[in-house]
């Protein structure tokens, strides 16, 4: 597959892989690096239809290309890494691992085939690289992992004994012994396990822990979102008030959040008024006699419009605007609880970003994403087929696949 091309309205392509989130302050002692850890590059060295591919990630990134160019594959790889960063097992991150094996890859003498992916996370520690080699056949397992920064390997793992479900790990110590060695499970990301294994007594160990934390925080702060309009208009029971990836419990979230942040809600209403057909003066949740709630648009004339009466594109627009204007505490994702929310940047991951949206809606949502990114509130990665409309928006990194 042809290597992707990147363009950005606010920077040259060569800069896009190291951009810090707009509006994020640099940490003391690390000028030019963002305070909130974030992914700045996704690498698919050998993954499905991709070989030696690298995708720069800005504060707002649009992956564009024709059908079959591998856009969705790239998003799924990003989501899989996010799951691993959150502690998931390989089987959860890659439910169909054979589909991840590069096209026409032949097995070796032991009938083994696999794939390689990686990413770079920038933050207070500077750029930190993670590279992962996964065996898909005959058994799913990690056969190699490397965490590195500034040319120094901080963690390296290798499969030494195929008969055991472990890999041999070695991490930087920097004391009397240059490295520490120990076995790690072959079905979990070793980087995510380091805080449980590294004592942090030497400068080298503290460097390892800081780099691992930066990578894990960047990976875990991801919200894959694909609004499903066919379910969004139905009444729902009140529950946790945390928005699901399909946004089908949107009414429950509104029931919780409408009064929690009046300013953010006002911004949401303004966005809906600009992007929906007809005036919008409010979006609220109404309780029903059976204990459920439904979402209603207030038109300002004493009447309300149930979301079930809205069109497909309008419902997707409402859901994506809500996600961009809310925070991690309202979304159904497991962020790094030991790290303050002010130190985390939420990344919205959306396949088919412009599906069902008219030109005004898709442009409005992209500009909203840029505004929120400038405040350090959110980052976004969206997939479209044609990005000719997106390249004109300042602050957006467009990566062209299949060109």
Give exposure, 46-73, as e/b (b: 16+ Cβ within 10 Å). Answer: bbbbbeebbbbbbbbbbbbbeeebbbeb
Phi, psi of 114, deg, nearest 5: -160, -160
Write down the pLDDT at residue 207: 95
Q: How far apart are CA 122 and CA 131, in angstroms?
A: 15
Phi, psi of 265, deg, nearest 5: -65, -40
Q: How far apart are CA 159 and CA 114, in angstroms?
A: 13
Nearest alpha-carbon partner for 39 in 53, 59, 23: 59
Write down the pLDDT at residue 361: 96
Nearest alpha-carbon partner for 399 in 22, 74, 117: 74
Write down the pLDDT at residue 3: 60
Q: How far apart are CA 308 and CA 176, in angstroms?
A: 67
26-37 per-position pLDDT tens digit: 333 356 787 889
Write down the pLDDT at residue 33: 81
Write down the pLDDT at residue 273: 94
Helix (H) or strand (E) holding 196: helix 190-197
Angle between helices 71-85 and 203-220 (to 10 degrees): 130
In this prediction, the residues of the chain whose per-residue pLDDT falls under 70 are 1-3, 5-31, 328, 332-344, 403
Q: How far apart are CA 121 and CA 108, in angstroms?
A: 33
**Residue carrying structure tokens 């896009």:** 16
The β-bridge partners of 275 are none
User: What is the biggest distance separating any 2 CA atoms in the chain, rounded to whole angstroms?
Assistant: 76
Write down the pLDDT at residue 51: 94
Phi, psi of 212, deg, nearest 5: -65, -45
Write down the pLDDT at residue 221: 85
Write down the pLDDT at residue 334: 62
Q: How far apart are CA 225 and CA 232, in angstroms?
A: 13
Annotated domain spans of the chain: 5-221, 227-332
Residue 250 three-state SS: helix
Write down the pLDDT at residue 113: 95
Give pTM, 2 decimals: 0.88
């Amino acid at each position: 597959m042809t290597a992707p091309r990147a363009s950005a309205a606010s920077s040259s392509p060569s800069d896009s892989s190291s951009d810090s989130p707009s509006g994020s302050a640099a940490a003391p002692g690390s000028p030019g690096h963002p305070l909130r850890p974030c992914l700045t590059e996704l690498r698919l060295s050998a993954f499905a239809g991709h070989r030696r591919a690298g995708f720069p990630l800005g504060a707002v990134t649009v992956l564009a290309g024709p059908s079959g160019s591998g856009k969705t594959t790239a998003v799924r790889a990003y989501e899989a890494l996010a799951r691993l960063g959150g502690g998931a097992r390989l089987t959860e991150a890659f439910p169909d691992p054979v589909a991840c094996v590069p096209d026409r890859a032949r097995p070796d003498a032991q009938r083994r085939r696999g794939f390689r992916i990686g990413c770079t996370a920038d933050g207070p520690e500077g750029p930190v690289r993670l590279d992962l080699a996964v065996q898909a056949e005959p058994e799913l397992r990690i056969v190699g992992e490397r965490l590195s920064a500034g040319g120094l390997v901080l963690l390296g793992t290798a499969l030494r004994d195929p008969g055991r479900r472990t890999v041999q790990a070695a991490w930087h110590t920097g004391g009397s012994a240059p490295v520490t060695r120990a076995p790690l499970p072959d079905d979990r990301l070793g980087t995510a396990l380091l805080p449980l294994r590294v004592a942090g007594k030497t400068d080298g160990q503290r460097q390892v822990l800081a780099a691992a934390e930066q990578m894990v925080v960047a990976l875990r702060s991801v919200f894959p979102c694909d609004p499903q309009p066919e379910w969004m208009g139905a009444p729902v029971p009140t529950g946790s008030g945390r928005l699901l990836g399909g946004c089908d419990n949107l009414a429950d979230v509104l029931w919780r959040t409408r009064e929690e942040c009046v300013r953010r809600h006002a911004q949401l209403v303004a966005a809906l008024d600009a992007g929906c057909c007809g005036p919008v003066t409010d979006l609220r949740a109404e309780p029903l006699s059976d204990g459920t709630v439904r979402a209603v648009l207030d038109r300002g004339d004493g009447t309300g419009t149930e979301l079930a009466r809205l069109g497909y594109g309008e419902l997707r627009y409402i859901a994506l605007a809500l996600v961009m204007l809310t925070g991690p505490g309202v979304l159904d994702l497991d962020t790094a609880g030991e790290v303050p929310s002010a130190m985390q940047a939420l990344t919205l991951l959306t396949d088919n970003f412009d599906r069902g949206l008219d030109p005004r809606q898709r442009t409005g949502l992209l500009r909203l994403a840029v505004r929120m990114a400038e405040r350090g509130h959110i980052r976004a990665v969206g997939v479209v087929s044609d990005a000719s409309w997106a390249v004109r928006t300042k602050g957006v990194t467009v990566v062209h696949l299949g060109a």
